[in-house]
Amino acid sequence: MTKSRLERSEIRKSPTGIPGLDDITKGGFPQGRPTLVSGGPGSGKTLLGVSFLVNGAQQFSEPGVLMTFEENAAELAQDVRSLGYDLDKLVEQKKLIVDYIHVDRSEIEETGEYDLEGLFVRLEHAINQIGAKRVMLDTIETLFGGLKDTGILRAELRRLFRWMRDRGITAVVTAERGEQMFTRQGLEEYITDAVISLDHRVHEQISTRRIRVVKYRGSTHGTNEYPFLIDRDGITVLPVTSLLLEHGAPNERVSTGLAALDGMLGGKGYYRASTVLLSGTAGTGKTTIAAHFLEAACARGERCMYFLFEESPSQLIRNMRSTGIDLQKWVDKGLLRFHADRPNRHGLETHLLEMHHAVETYDPDVVVLDPITNLMAVGTQADVRAMLTRVIDFFKTRGITAVFTSLTSSTQTLEATESMISSLMDTWILVAITEEDRKRNRWLYVLKSRGMPHSNDVRAFNITNQGVVISEPAKAKPTSPKSAKRKRK
């Protein structure tokens, strides 16, 4: 009884093999049923379908038939070759059949009754030739432009989807997005098992592709819009990691590289695998404090990765050398790697994906993102927050200690600015500058540090050619931003 209910409730799935998509669909497309993929021109629906076929043939021993109504086979093969798919080879290996049906209304005269049996015969022939389990129809709606009798066409499409279902074929059917419906011809009426929507929009001149599972009968699925990328590795849907709060929380502590700052953090420094925010106005020394942490980590033999969104690596190395921190040494030892990228070079999800690639290849213990504020300018607040959440999840799952520097503009209140990201941070250190007696004084304090006792002192510090030197707690009343809060006994 219970068992049969279980069997009924869990439908079988055919994995797409597309990173991320199998996560949000909880295993892939419904097996033995058609899935509708709708989207505007250039939204990536053909590529998604081709990936489904190619991955099926290569990874899951499920040969496929690609029936295209759009381009001819040669053009299509060429288009997907840029993404690393060699259709010709798969055809040779009898894992794939590409059939091309072109319908040109101008060369067809219609008279009397007909059906689309020709399509059925060809499809069946192709399926039988290689024992295909997967079929892609791209884009069958084109037929509406080629045939006048839409009544026959609709009846035949209905018959086609039923026919594929009877044969246990897992199909991907692509369609152009309609103005009011998901598809121009309302194909969602016929394909009700699973509907995927693709979208391509531009915000602030940076384009973002998004995917959404609109409907998935008999299965739970992620309901959000997820960004996805098309690059030389094909399609990747984010999240590439799960969005569960499942990462462990190590008790191990790591030195900040500054004894005095360790002292302010319960005497032991940051938690390993935690997130640290260093925020402050321009020129306060955020990068230098981060560099101290890197230096200490490298000295312990840990691997560090530095994501730069403003300076070039050589510029940073030169600047840090003036404070007595030799980063080049660690680069040479292979313990420090830079990844420099202009924030506006591409969209957030590309950044996210590149960070993933970089971290997965190098496998660091510590990462620094400097400054995160530049990256935040790339997208909308919600997007940035979502992306940072994913990045942080990813870091924590891998046990990486992550330091983010954040530039506060001088017109903003120091603590108000980071409301968007501060909740994602475990430790937040604020750095500030005040002017007094024609001198600029630097201050730092720990605004929060979860799970550890931490100092409420506002401490003065200098950046010398020996690095950051933090003064002892002030005896005299300092004119610091937090002085009002401090009560001296």
| Residue 241 near residue 223 (C-beta atoms within 8 A) | no
Q: Which of 164, 140, 163, 172 is nearest to 153 (CA)?
A: 140
118 lies in the site for another protein, by CB under 8 A: yes
Is residue 127 part of the contact set for another protein (CB under 8 A)? no
User: Rounded CA gap, 80 and 232, in Å?
Assistant: 10
Residues 13 to 32 in contact with another protein, rule: CB under 8 A? none
Exactly one of 92, 115, 332, 363 binds another protein (CB under 8 A); which one? 115
442-479 burial string, b = 16+ CB within 10 Å, else e? bbbbbbebeebebbebbbbbebeeebbebeeebeeebe
Instruction: Find the shortest distance in angstroms from Cβ 96 to another protein.
Output: 15
DSSP letter at 140? T
Candidates 143, 294, 304, 359; binder of another protein (CB under 8 A) is 143
Q: Please identify, using beta-carbon distances, which residue of 155 and 377 lies nearer to another protein.
A: 155
Q: In angstroms, what is the minimal distance from the CB of 67 to another protein? A: 10
H/E stretch holding 376 reads helix 372-376
Q: Does 419 bind another protein (CB under 8 A)?
A: no
Q: Which of 119, 160, 298, 447 binds another protein (CB under 8 A)?
A: 119
CB proximity list for 424: less than 8 A, separation 6 or greater: 275, 385, 388, 389, 392
Binding characters for another protein, 61-100, by CB under 8 A (x = yes): --------------------------------------xx
Stretch that binds another protein, among 26-34, 122-130, 220-228, 381-389 (CB under 8 A): 122-130
Our finding on whether 125 is near another protein (CB under 8 A) is: yes
Q: Using an 8 Å Cβ cutoff, are 328 and 294 in contact? A: no
State which of residues 7, 75, 92, 103 lies at the interface with another protein (CB under 8 A): 103
Residue 117 binds to another protein (criterion: CB under 8 A): yes
Residue 146 or 473: the one with the smaller Cβ distance to another protein is 146
Tell me how far CA of residue 244 lies from CA of 36, 137, 382, 396, in angstroms. 28, 35, 19, 11
Distance of alpha carbon 458 from alpha carbon 430, whole angstroms: 10
Q: DSSP assignment of 138-200, as one string?
A: E-TTHHHHH-S-HHHHHHHHHHHHHHHHHTT-EEEEEEEPPSSSSSTT-GGGT--SEEEEEEE
Q: Which is nearer to another protein, 156 or 199 (CB)?
A: 156
Say whether residue 151 binds another protein (CB under 8 A): no
Q: How far apart are the first and last CA of the chain?
A: 74
Of these, 47, 54, 77, 101, which contacts another protein (CB under 8 A)?
101
Q: Is 111 in the site for another protein (CB under 8 A)?
A: yes
- By CB under 8 A, residue 110 contacts another protein: yes
Task: List strand residue ranges (DSSP E) for 128-260, in order.
Answer: 134-138, 170-176, 194-203, 206-216, 225-231, 234-237, 253-254
Q: How far is the CB of 80 from another protein (least distance, A)?
A: 21
Given 6, 113, 151, 409, the residue binding another protein (CB under 8 A): 113
Question: Please, what is the minimum distance in Å from the beta carbon of residue 122 to another protein?
Answer: 5
By CB under 8 A, tell whether 155 contacts another protein: no
Residues near another protein (CB under 8 A): 99-103, 107-119, 121-122, 124-125, 143, 146-147
